[in-house]
Amino acid sequence: MPRALNFLLALFVTATLVGCASQAPRASEPLIISVEEWGGSRINVGPTRKHEIKHITLHHGGVDFLKGTDTAHHLRNLQAWSRNTRGWPDIPYHYLIDPDGNIYEGRDITLAGDTNTEYDPTGHALIVVLGNFDKVEPNAAQIDATVAVMALLAKRYNVVPTTIQSHRDYAKTSCPGANLYPYIASGEFARRVAAKI
Ligand SMILES: [Zn+2]
């Protein structure tokens, strides 16, 4: 094969490979920090309940969570507390969002979550925004990340965006806080999720 042709062929193969690689992570899907990446363990403690996602339900952490907090460290503590103190198999939520809008994987989405309140979280994909939104306003990065996770879940599990609700819509609680709830109540999350999927 002539040298020039060989070079062109190599160039073509390289371009094709690079092209494929850049298509692998779908641009529309948010980056999610896995349990392994934040240093957690996937070994569930005690009984678990398999479920199928029918609802998307929003929570807040309910305690102060300042920007600059080491989220991975917090999640490792939360996982240990959930298992050792609460006797739950894992963190009660499936996805967690920090003040920088980073999204972390929590409990295996195929397993039902847990709650301190009187509603059955079976069938609910549980998203928690870390912080106390009875006290502070959510920032734009947190809102954008919440929309991104909701859209991912709505698309994957065929959940109608207008049915996305929050903890207080199911149980007696102020969760997800006075300053985060209006995004549910006004339909803003539903509108932004619908526009994304
Ligand atoms: Zn809640």
Over residues 5-58, the pLDDT tens digits come to 454 444 444 443 444 444 444 557 899 999 999 999 998 777 899 999 999 999
Residue 27: per-residue pLDDT = 58
Residue 58: per-residue pLDDT = 98
- In whole angstroms, what is the distance from residue 168 CA to residue 117 CA? 10
Q: How far is the CA of 182 from the centre of ligand 1 (A)?
A: 15
Q: How far is the CA of 93 from the centre of ligand 1 (A)?
A: 9
**DSSP helix/strand/coil, 18:** helix
Residue 79: per-residue pLDDT = 97
Residue 41: per-residue pLDDT = 95
Residue 3: per-residue pLDDT = 53
Q: How far is the CA of 69 from the centre of ligand 1 (A)?
A: 21
- DSSP codes of every residue in 31-65: PEE-TTTTT------S---B----EEEEEE--S--
pTM assigned to the model: 0.85
Please, where are the H alpha helices in 35-187? 71-84, 140-157, 181-185
Q: How far is the CA of 59 from the centre of ligand 1 (A)?
A: 4
32-33 and 124-129: which strand pairing? unpaired
Cα–Cα distances (Å) from 49 to 107, 111, 122, 126, in that order, read: 12, 5, 8, 14
Q: How far is the CA of 33 from the centre of ligand 1 (A)?
A: 21
Q: How far is the CA of 142 from the centre of ligand 1 (A)?
A: 16
Q: How far is the CA of 31 from the centre of ligand 1 (A)?
A: 23
- In whole angstroms, what is the distance from residue 67 CA to residue 96 CA? 14
Q: How far is the CA of 194 from the centre of ligand 1 (A)?
A: 23
CATH of domain 29-196: 3.40.80.10
Q: What is the pLDDT of residues 59-106, one digit of tens each?
A: 999 999 998 999 999 999 999 999 999 999 999 999 999 999 999 999
- In whole angstroms, what is the distance from residue 121 CA to residue 129 CA? 17
Closest CA to 78 of 31, 37, 130: 130
Q: How far is the CA of 53 from the centre of ligand 1 (A)?
A: 17
Residue 26: per-residue pLDDT = 57
Q: How far is the CA of 27 from the centre of ligand 1 (A)?
A: 30
Residue 75: per-residue pLDDT = 98
Whether the ω angle into residue 176 lies within 30 degrees of 0, i.e. cis, is yes
